[in-house]
Amino acid sequence: MSAGNANSLTSSGQQSIEEVSHPLSAEESVLSSPDTANAAISLAEKDLSLLNGTPVDTSSPASSSSLVNRLQLDDDLNGETHDLFVSVDDPKKHVSTMETYITYRVTTKTTRTEFDLPEYSLRRRYQDFDWLRNKLEESQPTHLVPPLPEKFVMKGVVDRFSEEFVETRRKALDKFLKRVADHPVLSFNENFNVFLTAKDLNSYKKQGLALLTKMSESVKNVTGGYKLRSRPLEFAAMLDYLDVFTQKLGTIDRIAQRIIKEQSEYLMELRDYGPLYSSWAAFEGELQKPLKSVSECVTSCATALEELTDDMSEDFLPVLREYVLYIESMKNVLKKRDQVQAEYEAKLEAIVVRKEEKIGVPMDVEKCQDRMECFNADLKADWERWQNNKRQDFRQLLTGMAEKNIQYYEKCLAAWDTIIPLLQKKEDMNVDTN
């Protein structure tokens, strides 16, 4: 575990993975996190010290209660829990004989003690983000990992190196990283730390020492194929919600695309329309100035429209699509949860059927139950978190869309307002201007 550039978690020394406590296990978190949630955590500690008195190393300390408290603090934008700031910017093209690719600058600012330095700045490429996401999903299967922008783009259709594409991707990567940084569990993940700090990420990747927690290992080993008896209402409701929500997002996406199309065609006609007034002005005398000014006005409006349409394509649609991916991730997590529950139920039933071992409940079943309950708790917490973020994100997205439209109309209004005095005849001041 204390390999190469791994830092901060040095106390574990040379131990086998099984013995290593989860970096976020109850004991450690007491040391590392600024302790506004301390009371809650100790409570959680107590809760988790069940079963055989063994030190709890399966669940994350940020389980239901503590997480709830944290969430409440997170809602306050000035809350102290924001001790890790990340950003993705400055895309640059790299050309080598083998390939051409883009890197992004990843900047970290933090006061957390898991980090050796308060600031980091290094370059990462999409592959690295992809690696990080896979690692997070592997190591935190009970949590919802934010989505990445699409990996593959059709080479003929989209220019991977165009400014618009790169900028759209950068924004999505920035969002991804920020979401991870804001997550009370994911942000403490070792892989995340390495991603933000390691100078040579590739060699780290090659080492392949996955920091699997007991939980993740066990979840990985959940055999599928167990049939779920009945899904608890709250999770069923989540799935229903996600289904409808996906539908609505799809509809909104189609509408937005349609609007962009209509606006583009409108733009094309305007580009024909404006110059006609100019050609008319060319053979007029007194009307020359008014006609020319109308021509310029129409052209200004066309430019404003183009800006509006570009914004919709570059900002609005990608965010919508990202949420569709988010929903897919969420659904997968829900599926995993179902599997965990199904396994538990099956094993429990098996015992009842076999009427074995009246000496307490076997470890196996207890473990399953643990797993399920922790999963449920994590998921519920993440769901709440996700709902809140979704609300914020869409509020921002839609107000942004409205704002862009307002700006478009304001630009046009200004253009037409300017030419009103040019259209007025000097002698004739009785013109009715609404």
Partner 1 sequence: MTSEKESRVPIMAEGSCLLRKMEISVAEAEKRTGKNAVNMQETYTVYLIETRPADSVTEGHNPVPDSLWRRYSEFELLRNYLLVTYPFIVIPPLPEKRAEFVWHKLSADNMDPDFVERRRIGLENFLLRVASHPVLSSDKIFFLFLTEENGWKEAVFETGFLAKSDSRLKALNATFRVKNPDKRFSELKHYSDELQSVTSQLLRVRARVADRLYGVYKVHGNYGRVFSEWSAIEKEMGDGLQSAGHHMDAYAASVDDILEEEEHYADQLKEYLFYAEAVKAVCRKHELLQYELETASQDLASKKQQQEELAAGTVRTFSFKGMTSKLFGQETPEQREAKLKVLEEQIKEGEEELQKEFVKNAWKDIERFKEQKDHDLREALMSYAVMQISMCKKGIQVWTNAKECFSKM
Using the minimum distance from each CB to partner 1, give the nearer residue, 134 or 392.
392
Interface of this chain with partner 1, residues 288 to 307, rule: CB under 8 A: 290-291, 294, 297
**316, 221 contact by CB (below 8 A):** no
Distance, in Å, from the CA atom of 126 to the CA atom of 106, rounded to the nearest integer, reads 12
Query: Which is nearer to partner 1, 19 or 286 (by Cβ)?
Result: 286
Please state the closest distance from residue 183 (CB atom) to partner 1, in A. Answer: 22
Binding mask 212-241 for partner 1 (x = CB under 8 A): -----------------------------x
Distances from the Cα of 181 to the Cα of 56, 85, 146, angstroms: 25, 7, 11
* Contact pattern from residue 129 through residue 168 relative to partner 1, giving x for each residue in contact according to CB under 8 A and a dash for the rest: ----------------------------------------
* Contact stretch for partner 1 (CB under 8 A) within 30-38, 184-192, 374-382, 410-418: 410-418
Q: Which stretch binds partner 1 (CB under 8 A): 96-104, 130-138, 163-171, 398-406?
A: 398-406
Q: Which is nearer to partner 1, 152 or 283 (CB)?
A: 283
Answer for the pair 216, 329: CB distance below 8 angstroms, yes or no.
Answer: no
Give yes or no for residue 403 binding partner 1 (CB under 8 A).
yes
Q: How far is the CB of 194 from partner 1 (least distance, A)?
A: 37
Min. distance of Cβ 301 from partner 1 in angstroms?
Answer: 8
* 248 binds partner 1, rule: CB under 8 A: yes
Q: Please name every residue paired with 121 in a beta bridge, in sequence order, or none if there are none.
A: 107
Which of 50, 117, 255, 350 touches partner 1 by CB under 8 A?
255
**Least distance (Å) between residue 395 CB and partner 1:** 5
Residues 352-391, interacting with partner 1 (CB under 8 A): 391
Is residue 251 involved in binding partner 1 (CB under 8 A)? Answer: yes
Question: Which residues between 264 and 293 bind partner 1 (CB under 8 A)?
Answer: 265-266, 268-270, 272-273, 276-277, 279-280, 283, 285-287, 290-291
Distance CA(133)–CA(179), nearest Å, equals: 12
Question: For residues 41 and 297, which CB has a smaller minimum distance to partner 1 in the complex?
Answer: 297
If one asks whether residue 420 binds partner 1 (CB under 8 A), the answer comes out as: yes
Compute the least distance from the CB of residue 164 to partner 1, in Å.
22
* Sign of the C-alpha dihedral computed for residues 244, 247, 249 and 252 taken in this order: negative
Place of tokens 């921002």: 396
Stretch that binds partner 1, among 35-43, 112-120, 126-134, 245-253 (CB under 8 A): 245-253
Distance between CA atoms of 214 and 210, rounded to whole angstroms? 12
Number of residues located near partner 1, criterion CB under 8 A = 56
Residues forming contacts to partner 1 in the complex (CB under 8 A) are 241, 244-245, 248, 251-252, 255, 258-259, 262-263, 265-266, 268-270, 272-273, 276-277, 279-280, 283, 285-287, 290-291, 294, 297, 391, 394-395, 398-399, 401-403, 405-406, 408-410, 412-413, 416-417, 419-420, 423-425, 431-434
